[in-house]
Chain A
Amino acid sequence: MVNENLVKDVVKEPYKYGFVTDIETEKIAKGLNEDIIRLISQKKEEPKYLLDFRLKAFKKWQKMKEPDWAGLGYKQIDYQDIIYYSAPKQKEKISSLDEVDPKLLETFDKLGIPLTEQKKLTNVAVDAVFDSVSIATTFREELAEHGVIFCSISEAVKNHSDLIEKYLGTVVPASDNYFAALNSAVFSDGSFVYIPKGVTCPMDLSSYFRINSGDSGQFERTLIIAEESSSVSYLEGCTAPMFDTNTLHAAVVELIALDDASIKYSTVQNWYAGDEEGVGGIFNFVTKRGKCLGKRSKISWSQVETGSAITWKYPSCLLLGEESVGEFYSVALTNNLQKADTGTKMVHIGPKTKSTIVSKGISAGNSINSYRGLVKMGTKAAGSRNYSQCDSMLIGDQASANTFPYIKSQQPNSEIEHEASTCRISEDQLFYLQSRGIEFEEAVSMMVSGFCRDVFNQLPLEFAAEADKLLALKLEGSVG
């Protein structure tokens, strides 16, 4: 018989990214009103259309009600008690990384993010976002040679205004949901990627989001446009310091893939999850959606969710183009009092579209881990196919694993398959491994890793290593 407590101990792991960077920041007053929105827009020297977009979103948000259907049961958020803009103070314009505050570079160094020159060898271009602003983007010149635009969204507003005006809010409209409307009104920064026609992005692009202030929310916005026959792999990582208060993170990610384009979007989310009593932690309410506009276009989401006190996130694909493909690969690990309500939406609109969903949930402690997904076949989606697989693993008898798939079909000439199962760490397998001399802790880690293998195989190389390490860290404990 496996000692339950032993398994529980194994999944305990202290949060390693919980330090605070002591840096002078520029913050605006708490609260949310039209003046604050005008102030954010003014600080970012935005054109009028963007201010109008923000104000319109704010009006819509005021009329909306905070959703409660996920039953996450979190403490009421006081939206007037949040700072909507916080930026590290630095010189007016940064022309090279040497001018970035060394403290910031040190912070990202500690997080293992290669911003400095000597670490650029890793061949991943990074856009580092600290609280409300992007502080540096690496490899820009190299990318520009290929015509790839990779910069912060504030810069894109200034330098590529036409693209922003054309695409911003076309995938996730401002009125889409409560948190998307809030983000549309107050978004401060984020990444912008544009891959021109026929270009395969020469390196992986990456954004790293860091929340440093305890009282400010992070509202970033990412927009990726892949023109015809282009392809890009984009990675996203997130961490935050440990605070006793809950910090709100409400991001919006929009992806657009035109004919034959492909976008691979990978996330390793490791926001601070709060302590064992559930005090503190990030509220991660994110709207991520991709639009496969073109024929044979492909959008693939892969994610490893280990952090956040509450995660509310459904990366989705709107499959409009003929023969377009949507994919979703997810591992969600929850522990202590974490709550994760995550899944995907695959909306098949065009003919012969295909989608695959593989979701693995691991719940330990007193956590709640739910998969919530929608697969919809529209009337024109003839010849379309979907396959979904949702597996849950329970560690301990206090954790809960839920599956809520929602399947809707209006097209007889399409096929939908869904399967879900729930299991625990098998005693027989543990016994087998231990009898071969493998330590208990390592055996549990191996089994969890094996359980998630389908998803890890889909992660880009750099991330697969990080994800594996992250899960191993989460499983590192006080055994023995």
Chain B
Amino acid sequence: MEIIEKIKTNKSIVNQTEIQRFCIKKLQSSPLPNPKSELWRLTNKSKFSKFLDYSVNKKEPKFDTPYPKTSQNTIRLIIGENCQIKLIEKKYSIQQLSEDELFNHIKEQISFCDQNENWSDLLNLSLSCTKNILGLKINGSKIPPIEIFSHASINSLNAKTLVIFLEKNCDIDLLQVNLGKENSSLSQSTFFFLKENSSVNHGVVSYGEHKSNLLNSLNVIQQKNSEYNLGSLHFKFNYARFEIRIKQTSGNAKTNIKGMQITKKDEQISTYTKIDFNGPNGFLDQINKSLADDKSHAIFEGSIKVPKIAQKTDACQLSRNLLLSKFAQIDTKPQLEIIADDVKCKHGATISQLNEEELFYMRTRGITLPEASKLQLSSYFQEIISFIPVSKDRWDLLDKLLNDN
């Protein structure tokens, strides 16, 4: 693990920014997460060390987007390439944040963070150079949909960071696409700050290629009356870990999350979510779906914390899982920690296979078993895919999920 050695010795990471110096210092005492902690216990050790095996800072080849930009009025940004943005029109403005602004905001987030819980962010920020940090301040309304790409290059570890500030009364549709390459690792950290009355429809689509790895973390701070909708999809990674941390700073905010992870072969994909309600009248509706086939392993761990101050919180968390092979395994752990008494909180979890009665019904109507299974799967996927914003049809996500092997 060359990277960990570099962090330990604080050598050979050249031209360090202030953020990098700060995070490397935090990581130096214990550069790896504790494998016995609840958040890292189920991580496949060999896959995780494979993630760290690639070296950083290799010169990245030019990125070919898999789909050309349509005529649709969409803003497309690629982290690491065209970071010079200045889009100011009458009704809206998108500005790039300066290094100082970035440092101040990120420092606030990670100063008192838990090493195990925020390890993915600390690693990302230790490795992410100025070029690979994209910070945006978005203001105004009627902003065109935004697509942001993060990609890995073959045989290397790439760290990309995205920081987005959404000013008051602003609302956007944003699709974030993380693309893994063959034999590569991608570390992606995203920081979202939603000011009062702002709203985001956020899509995160991550898909890899053979032997690609991903460490994706998402931190969202919501001020009152803000609305955050997330549709996420992770598939085709040898090892992927998606961490979602959402904090409603003063309550009165709305969060909807619909996520899905699909594992095949011997892949391991995990989702960890932590929702903190820090004020009254918070709302959460979360559904996480997993599908595990072949010899793969899907993990979901969701934690909801409702302190005394968060009265009248309405939170619902559902984990639905399909286990399609007798060699695959699924772990799920939805958790509730509640102190406030006037709340509505519930969670549910199911693990099963495809519904036999439905399959039988379709077969009696002349549909073959593989077709009937596909039909059932497509309805299972569709609930999540339909929640992902910005020209999702163009991405043929459903097709990819049903036909990719």
Taking the nearest CB of chain B, how far is it from the CB of A2, in angstroms?
Answer: 10
Q: Are B339 and A419 in contact (CB under 8 A)?
A: no
Q: Are A418 and B353 in contact (CB under 8 A)?
A: no
A399-443 interface with B by 8 A CB criterion:
399-424
Closest A residue, CB atoms, query B304 = A403
In the bound complex, what is the Cα–Cα distance between A403 and B353 (angstroms)?
25
B42-74 interface with A by 8 A CB criterion:
none
Known interface pairs A403-B335, A403-B336, A410-B326; A418-B350 also in contact (CB < 8 Å): yes
Q: Are A419 and B338 in contact (CB under 8 A)?
A: no
Which B residues touch A399, using CB under 8 A? 339, 341
Does A398 make an interface contact (CB < 8 A)? yes
Does B105 make an interface contact (CB < 8 A)? no
Closest A residue, CB atoms, query B346 = A421
Which A residues touch B345, using CB under 8 A? 421-422
Does A311 make an interface contact (CB < 8 A)? no
Taking the nearest CB of chain B, how far is it from the CB of A44, in angstroms?
Answer: 39
Taking the nearest CB of chain A, how far is it from the CB of B124, in angstroms?
Answer: 28
Which A residues touch B348, using CB under 8 A? 417-420
Taking the nearest CB of chain B, how far is it from the CB of A194, in angstroms?
Answer: 38
Which B residues touch A423, using CB under 8 A? 344
B346-364 interface with A by 8 A CB criterion:
346-353
Does B271 make an interface contact (CB < 8 A)? no
Taking the nearest CB of chain B, how far is it from the CB of A36, in angstroms?
Answer: 32
Q: Are B346 and A409 in contact (CB under 8 A)?
A: no
Which A residues touch B330, using CB under 8 A? 407-409
Closest A residue, CB atoms, query B326 = A412
State which of B18-26, B109-117, B257-265, B317-325 sits at the interface with chain A.
Answer: B317-325
Does A200 make an interface contact (CB < 8 A)? no
Does B393 make an interface contact (CB < 8 A)? no
Taking the nearest CB of chain B, how far is it from the CB of A140, in angstroms?
Answer: 47
Known interface pairs A404-B335, A409-B329; A397-B311 also in contact (CB < 8 Å): yes
Does A395 make an interface contact (CB < 8 A)? yes
Q: Are B331 and A408 in contact (CB under 8 A)?
A: yes
Q: Are B336 and A397 in contact (CB under 8 A)?
A: no
Q: Are A402 and B338 in contact (CB under 8 A)?
A: yes
Known interface pairs A400-B338, A409-B321; A415-B343 also in contact (CB < 8 Å): no
Which A residues touch B343, using CB under 8 A? 394, 422, 424
Does B328 make an interface contact (CB < 8 A)? yes
Chain A count of residues within 8 A CB distance of the other chain: 35
Which A residues touch B220, using CB under 8 A? none
Closest B residue, CB atoms, query A69 = B38
Does A216 make an interface contact (CB < 8 A)? no
Does A379 make an interface contact (CB < 8 A)? yes
Q: Are A398 and B326 in contact (CB under 8 A)?
A: no
Which B residues touch A405, using CB under 8 A? 333-335, 349
Q: Are A416 and B349 in contact (CB under 8 A)?
A: yes
Taking the nearest CB of chain B, how far is it from the CB of A226, in angstroms?
Answer: 31
Does B340 make an interface contact (CB < 8 A)? yes
Q: Are B340 and A397 in contact (CB under 8 A)?
A: yes
Which B residues touch A379, using CB under 8 A? 326
Does A262 make an interface contact (CB < 8 A)? no
Q: Are A420 and B339 in contact (CB under 8 A)?
A: no
Does B337 make an interface contact (CB < 8 A)? yes
Does A392 make an interface contact (CB < 8 A)? yes
Does B99 make an interface contact (CB < 8 A)? no
In the bound complex, what is the Cα–Cα distance between A402 and B307 (angstroms)?
11
In the bound complex, what is the Cα–Cα distance between A402 and B337 (angstroms)?
4
Taking the nearest CB of chain A, how far is it from the CB of B275, in angstroms?
Answer: 14
Taking the nearest CB of chain B, how far is it from the CB of A122, in angstroms?
Answer: 40
Q: Are A402 and B321 in contact (CB under 8 A)?
A: no
Which B residues touch A402, using CB under 8 A? 335-338
Does B342 make an interface contact (CB < 8 A)? yes
Q: Are B308 and A422 in contact (CB under 8 A)?
A: no
Taking the nearest CB of chain A, how far is it from the CB of B286, in angstroms?
Answer: 14
Taking the nearest CB of chain A, how far is it from the CB of B279, in angstroms?
Answer: 14
Binding site secondary structure of chain B = strand
Closest B residue, CB atoms, query A395 = B341
Closest A residue, CB atoms, query B333 = A406
In the bound complex, what is the Cα–Cα distance between A50 and B24 (angstroms)?
55
Does B158 make an interface contact (CB < 8 A)? no
Known interface pairs A420-B346, A421-B346, A422-B343; A409-B351 also in contact (CB < 8 Å): yes
Does A477 make an interface contact (CB < 8 A)? no
Contact with A along B170-195 (1 / 0, CB 8 A): 00000000000000000000000000
Q: Are B339 and A397 in contact (CB under 8 A)?
A: yes
Q: Are A404 and B353 in contact (CB under 8 A)?
A: no
Does B150 make an interface contact (CB < 8 A)? no
Known interface pairs A419-B346, A420-B346; A407-B338 also in contact (CB < 8 Å): no
Closest A residue, CB atoms, query B318 = A419
Q: Are B339 and A398 in contact (CB under 8 A)?
A: yes
Q: Are A412 and B324 in contact (CB under 8 A)?
A: yes
Does B201 make an interface contact (CB < 8 A)? no
Q: CB < 8 Å: which of B329, B335, B337 contacts A408? A: B329
Taking the nearest CB of chain B, how far is it from the CB of A385, in angstroms?
Answer: 10
Contact with B along A367-398 (1 / 0, CB 8 A): 00000000001010000000000001011111
Known interface pairs A398-B308, A402-B338, A422-B336; A412-B353 also in contact (CB < 8 Å): yes
Which B residues touch A419, using CB under 8 A? 346-349
Q: CB < 8 Å: which of B311, B328, B331, B342 contacts A412? A: B328
In the bound complex, what is the Cα–Cα distance between A401 and B323 (angstroms)?
31
In the bound complex, what is the Cα–Cα distance between A89 and B363 (angstroms)?
77
Q: Are A422 and B353 in contact (CB under 8 A)?
A: no
Q: Are B308 and A397 in contact (CB under 8 A)?
A: yes
Q: CB < 8 Å: which of A69, A395, A422 contacts B338? A: A422
In the bound complex, what is the Cα–Cα distance between A424 and B343 (angstroms)?
8
Taking the nearest CB of chain A, how far is it from the CB of B166, in angstroms?
Answer: 31
Which A residues touch B353, using CB under 8 A? 412-413
Taking the nearest CB of chain B, how far is it from the CB of A422, in angstroms?
Answer: 4
Closest A residue, CB atoms, query B315 = A422
Closest B residue, CB atoms, query A385 = B352
A52-77 interface with B by 8 A CB criterion:
69
Does B126 make an interface contact (CB < 8 A)? no
Q: Are A422 and B349 in contact (CB under 8 A)?
A: no
Which B residues touch A411, using CB under 8 A? 323, 326
In the bound complex, what is the Cα–Cα distance between A396 and B342 (angstroms)?
9
Taking the nearest CB of chain B, how far is it from the CB of A389, in angstroms?
Answer: 10
Q: Which residues of A line the B interface, CB within 8 A?
A: 69, 377, 379, 392, 394-424
Having A69-B38, A408-B332, A422-B345, one finds 6 other A-B pairs with CB under 8 Å, namely A395-B341, A400-B338, A405-B333, A406-B332, A412-B324, A419-B348
A-B contact pairs, 30 of them (CB 8 A): A69-B38, A379-B326, A392-B336, A394-B338, A394-B341, A394-B343, A395-B341, A397-B341, A399-B339, A400-B338, A400-B339, A403-B347, A404-B333, A407-B351, A408-B329, A408-B331, A408-B332, A409-B329, A412-B325, A412-B326, A415-B351, A415-B352, A416-B351, A417-B349, A418-B348, A419-B346, A419-B348, A420-B336, A422-B346, A424-B341
Which are the 8 A-B pairs with shortest beta-carbon distances? A394-B341, A421-B346, A418-B349, A412-B323, A416-B351, A409-B351, A422-B345, A403-B336
